[in-house]
A and B are shown apart, each in its own frame.
Chain A
Amino acid sequence: MAEESPSIEDIIDRRYEDLLRFVRYRIRDTAEARDIAQEAFLRLLRRNREELIDRPEAYLFRIAANLAYEHRLRNRRQVSDGAKWIDEATDDSRSPETRVEDQERLKRVDEAFSKLPPLPRAALLLQRRDGLTYDEIAEQLGTTKHMVKKHLTRAMAQCRAALLEDDE
């Protein structure tokens, strides 16, 4: 059987970070990179189903590259395009402003996470750090899978809310 092409949710889950890195390498601004990554996803979703099914990842990265290019033209920022985007191990080409913004974000998420009630916090920790399944988390916390899902929903929504305050 032919290998199935990845679905949208797979792409968002597995490739979002790569995409963000890919864009950030090109424009060196985290907040802008997020906007561009989002725009790329939006454009991807606007395609019809057939196009979506046929190699959506390649399409996504192509849109992102184009958007990043347009952004650079607009901002006339000189960024070397020569290096490989995927290797970011030594990359700290972020501007000082961006670095401060990123720190601020982390601080907020950290605070929101620490303020979560114990069960949602424990569930999220077990999922994010230890990669446990919902059933495994339920067993560890002595609750049901349904409740684990509720806790995780709440945890994610609350961490997200912490970033919203000055977003609007």
Chain B
Amino acid sequence: MSKRKQMKSIEASEWWVKLRDEDCTDREREMFVDWLRAAPENVSEYLALANVWQDLGEVVPNTEINEILAELSNDNVVPYPNLSEVADRPKASPKQWRQSWFAIAATVALFTVATLLVLQQSGNTLETAVGEQRTVVLEDGSVLTLNTRTRLQYEISTLSRNVVLIEGEALFDVARDINRPFIVTVGPTTVRVLGTSFNIYKTSDSESTITVLEGLVVVNPQSNTELLLRSAGDLLAETGDIKLTVGEQLHISSEETIVPKSAVSTDKTIEWTSRRLSFENTVLKDVIFEFNRYNVKQLQVEDAELAMLRLNGVFEPNGHETLLDYLRKTENVHIRDIGNRRVISR
């Protein structure tokens, strides 16, 4: 099947699924009609799904849910050959342990260097502008959704699948492939999976947040080449692999070496995919940081007390008006436009 055709049928399937969601909005329905009207091909793809749906009605009654669920429990164990070996070796003597760490560190370092070099030369770059979002299907069937102002490079080969998240935020739905690990490098951190779904938000050069939506993800927060070579012994002893599963989040920043993982709402983490920003008891300063990711015109708070004001609410990220209206009504603020900035003050 041609790639284009494949994209079309995924697009149609996305609409098919979206329209059957109880939370589907009127706006989404309108967008669906626009999509249908955009090309006859879209209509035929969508109707093809209606046909499949009809056929499925005759097919599925022959299936037992319990059988599938049984398969599922067998399938749930995801082997991570190299990494689990590393993690399960705490009983080795300190010396051996140190040597093996060094060997692993050196291998990883070489590998990372090689990966980065390869990516720089031949990697494909995906980018989004301010306020833009984009979904891309890679050759291996993995689906990447890029949030606003995001840049990444990827390289899919017969041996491995590599992505470098240079800036921004992306949702990874990785197609399962036991023979080709999927590795995301974000700053000093590598995230390694075989097939699963997770979100990475790189807030700054040294900070990122990884949230797992499905399956198991292995994170090495310090697999920076320089760090690995310099401190293969002691530092790595404290900062080995961290395993994350569904609903777990890891926040990595340069100030901390070991960051405890926490449980989070996954729906909230990926709310951005439906172009919504929601805040619960969030200080205005942070709210503005989020808004500024999506807009060319940057908001700024002048009043320190105002910056710490706590907000609740759901907003559309593009454009400031809903937020500013809210502030005008509740806090009696002034808004001045200065060049490319909008300054909020009392």
Confirm or deny: B201 has a beta carbon within 8 angstroms of a beta carbon on chain A: no
B270 and A146 form a contact (CB under 8 A):
yes
Q: How far is the CA of A141 from the CA of B73 in the complex (A)?
A: 11
Confirm or deny: B69 has a beta carbon within 8 angstroms of a beta carbon on chain A: yes
A119 and B72 form a contact (CB under 8 A):
yes
Chain B interface extent, by class = 35 or more
A41 and B65 form a contact (CB under 8 A):
no
A41 and B52 form a contact (CB under 8 A):
no
Confirm or deny: B63 has a beta carbon within 8 angstroms of a beta carbon on chain A: yes
A45 with B43, Cβ < 8 A, contacts A134-B21, A144-B246, A157-B13 known: yes
Q: How far is the CA of A164 from the CA of B68 in the complex (A)?
A: 26
Confirm or deny: A64 has a beta carbon within 8 angstroms of a beta carbon on chain B: no
- Interface-facing stretch out of A70-78, A92-100, A125-133: A125-133
Confirm or deny: B238 has a beta carbon within 8 angstroms of a beta carbon on chain A: no
> Please, which residues of chain A bring their CB within 8 A of the CB of B338?
none
Report the tally of A-B residue pairs with Cβ distances under 8 A.
152
Confirm or deny: A143 has a beta carbon within 8 angstroms of a beta carbon on chain B: yes
Closest residue of chain B to A117, judged by CB? B176
Q: How far is the CA of A89 from the CA of B125 in the complex (A)?
A: 56
B307-338 residues with Cβ-Cβ distance < 8 A to A are none
Q: Give per-residue flags for A134-166: 1 if the beta carbon is below 8 A from chain B beta carbons, else 0.
A: 110000010111110110111011011101110
Confirm or deny: A110 has a beta carbon within 8 angstroms of a beta carbon on chain B: yes
Q: How far is the CA of A127 from the CA of B246 in the complex (A)?
A: 22
Q: How far is the CB of B39 from chain A (nearest CB, A)?
A: 10
B52 and A163 form a contact (CB under 8 A):
yes
Closest residue of chain A to B26, judged by CB? A7
A157 and B9 form a contact (CB under 8 A):
yes
B47 and A118 form a contact (CB under 8 A):
no
Q: How far is the CB of A23 from chain B (nearest CB, A)?
A: 12
Which interface residue of B6, B29, B43 has the most chain A CB atoms within 10 A?
B43
> Please, which residues of chain A bring their CB within 8 A of the CB of B13?
152-154, 156-157, 160
Confirm or deny: A8 has a beta carbon within 8 angstroms of a beta carbon on chain B: yes
B43 and A156 form a contact (CB under 8 A):
no
> Please, which residues of chain A bring their CB within 8 A of the CB of B18?
149
A134 and B32 form a contact (CB under 8 A):
no
Task: Identify whether the interface residues of A are mostly helix, strand, loop, or mixed.
Answer: helix
Confirm or deny: B85 has a beta carbon within 8 angstroms of a beta carbon on chain A: no
A109 with B72, Cβ < 8 A, contacts A38-B43, A147-B197 known: no
A144 and B65 form a contact (CB under 8 A):
no
B36 and A37 form a contact (CB under 8 A):
no
Confirm or deny: A124 has a beta carbon within 8 angstroms of a beta carbon on chain B: yes
Q: How far is the CA of A85 from the CA of B141 in the complex (A)?
A: 43
Q: How far is the CB of A105 from chain B (nearest CB, A)?
A: 6
Confirm or deny: A34 has a beta carbon within 8 angstroms of a beta carbon on chain B: yes
> Please, which residues of chain B bring their CB within 8 A of the CB of A153?
10, 13-14, 16-17
Q: How far is the CA of A57 from the CA of B50 in the complex (A)?
A: 17
> Please, which residues of chain A bring their CB within 8 A of the CB of B213?
144, 146-147
> Please, which residues of chain A bring their CB within 8 A of the CB of B273?
146
Contact of A128 among B10, B56, B71, B247 (CB under 8 A): B56
Q: Give per-residue flags for B166-197: 1 if the beta carbon is below 8 A from chain A beta carbons, else 0.
A: 00000001001000000000000000000001
| Seed contacts A7-B29, A141-B72; 20 additional CB < 8 Å A-B pairs | A117-B75, A125-B68, A128-B53, A128-B57, A128-B60, A133-B22, A146-B213, A146-B266, A146-B273, A147-B197, A149-B18, A156-B16, A156-B52, A157-B10, A160-B12, A160-B45, A160-B52, A161-B1, A163-B52, A164-B1
**Residues of chain B whose beta carbon lies under 8 Å from any beta carbon of chain A:** 1-2, 5-6, 9-10, 12-14, 16-22, 29, 32-33, 36-37, 40, 43-63, 65, 68-69, 71-72, 75, 143, 173, 176, 197, 213-214, 246-247, 266-267, 270, 273
**Residues of chain A whose beta carbon lies under 8 Å from any beta carbon of chain B:** 7-9, 12-13, 16-17, 20, 34, 37-38, 41-42, 45-46, 52, 105-106, 109-110, 113-114, 117-119, 121-122, 124-129, 133-135, 141, 143-147, 149-150, 152-154, 156-157, 159-161, 163-165, 168
